[in-house]
Structure 1
Amino acid sequence: MRRRFLTVLCVTAVSASLLGGCGSEKKTEEKEAAGEVQGNELSDGSDDSSQEEAKAEESASEEKSPEDSSTAEGVMLDVSKTLSGTHHAEMILKDYGTIKMELDADTAPLTVTNFVKLVQEDFYDGLTFHRIVNDFMMQGGDPEGNGTGGAEETIKGEFSNNGVENEISHTKGVISMARSTDYDSASSQFFIVQADSTFLDGDYAAFGHVTEGMDIVDEICKNAKPINSGGLIDTPEQPVIEDIIIVD
């Protein structure tokens, strides 16, 4: 696994006296900081109508494409091709609950396909949110748990400054990909925006948003106790991703 420095999103609190006349400089500094820191019933045949219904259901099942394949824990989408449309996922955090997400594969097809692929490979199970900054975001999906790791493959950054139109703004609840300074370095690390951070627009690949569970995000961010200015959380205190399920 290639190691990349995907440390995402560190925001420095600036006093009001320093804000006057320095808006563009603050925006630039914030962007730079963000870039640096990432189971079947068996019929006995006694009911002919039931048997015929069972045969019909079996036939319909055989006609399903890989993309329609379902499991007890959701569906298995066909990620051998780039996804499109809207998809939904549920992320279960240990001791916190479930965060429901909507994924926009029309806006960010490569990003959503990559995310779904990793989810279906159970890549995220047991990983954590290692970097949390209150009033900004919470970042996770790093196998190393410190911002330096990722998946084996990287993807093209789907955002305007990398030549890809992406109209999803980084407002509260939006989900986006972390990366290093290399525009095409995103792999597995993602972040959930806790407070509007539109200064990230154009530089990061937003690919969905939280539909339920922002109260969990708020709770985690509010109670976070970073051990450094970048928002790194001590390993025992990092919220754990128990599972992510693709719903449709």
Structure 2
Amino acid sequence: MKKWVRAALILTTAAAMSAGCGTQPAQEQGSGGGERQTSFDKAPEMQIDEAKSYEAVVKTSKGEFTIELFAKDAPVTVNSFVFLSRQKYYEGIVFHRIVPDYIIQTGDPTGTGRGGPGYSFEDELGGPHEYGPGIVAMANAGANTNGSQFFICTGEWSKKLNEIPNYTIFGRIKDGMDTVLAIGATPVGGMNNDTPQEKITIESITIHES
């Protein structure tokens, strides 16, 4: 089931995904000529250290930005994001949805708003952070359906999400908000006027641990 972002507080998200769907991981050719895994049988075991700090440097076709990851506040979410990033899962994935002055959304390997990593995991809500420009949160298709899709808040309208705080906040933009805003300024069209008219891709995500 696909959910659409609307200014009336309904965040587009996506994802018809089910845990344990399929028995063999899907693979496709990566940019380096090797194969990268795009589907997994189950969520990863915990591999991050909540006492450490994590940042993700995201290189896109529009520029670069850095996400400070909230490992203490959303450890399960950050663990999944770090795992997928280290697996190069996000490489080549497009920003498939842009709502001007609201959010940009990515993380779906199919680019349709319906894809995911083959597993889902629980929400981590009620943390100390609020939605607003620069906040990074998980997209979902209902309670406890997080996968790989996430969104970045770009404008003041995103603060309205604090009235329905149903999306796990797991980071914030530390550097490169100008790149995020440039992506958010991409012309859009389509039936819901939120489909980018320019292909913008994630080229790489590098995780730094300290």
TM-score range, shorter chain: 0.7 to 0.9
Deviation at 1:81, TM superposition (A): 3.8
Q: Which segments of structure 1 move beyond 4 Å, counting only runs of 4 or more? A: 35-38
**What is residue 89 of structure 1 aligned with on the other side?**
56
Higher normalized helix content (fraction of residues): 1
Q: 1:136 to 1:227 in 2, by over 3 A?
A: same
Runs of 5+ consecutive residues of structure 2 not aligned to the other structure: 16-43
1:186 aligns with 2:149: no
Judged with a 3 Å threshold, the aligned counterparts in structure 2 of structure 1 residues 115 and 203 are, in CA distance, closer, same or farther, namely: same
Q: CA deviation at 1:219?
A: 1.4
Residue aligning to 1:203 = 166
1:176 to 115, 137, 153: 137
CA distance in 2, matches of 1:179, 1:6: 9
Relative distance call for 1:243 and 1:6 in structure 2 (3 A) is: farther
Task: Give the CA deviation at 1:7.
Answer: 3.9
Cα-to-partner distance string for 1:163-204 (whole Å, 9 max, x where unaligned): xx3121111101000001x21111000001001322323211
- Runs of at least 5 residues in structure 1 that lack an aligned partner in the other structure: 12-28, 39-77, 160-164
For 1:178 and 1:35, the matched residues in 2 are separated by 7
- Cα deviation for residue 82 of structure 1 reads 5.2
TM-score, normalising length: structure 2 = 0.77
Q: Indicate the SS of the match to 1:247.
A: strand
- 2:59–2:203: 8 Å Cα contact kept in structure 1? yes
Deviation string, structure 1 residues 53-79 (Cα, Å, up to 9, x no partner): xxxxxxxxxxxxxxxxxxxxxxxxx96
Residue 176 and residue 225 in structure 1: after superposition, are their counterparts in 2 closer, same or farther (change >3 A)? same
SS in 2 for 1:223: coil
Alignment TM-score, normalising by the size of structure 1: 0.66
Percent identity between the two aligned chains: 29
Residue correspondences, number: 177
1:103 counterpart (27, 50, 69): 69
**Alpha-carbon RMSD:** 2.0
Corresponding residue for residue 18 of structure 1:
none
Deviations 1:195-216 (A, max 9, x none): 1322323211011101111111
Post-superposition offset of 1:228 = 2.6
The structure with more radius of gyration: 1
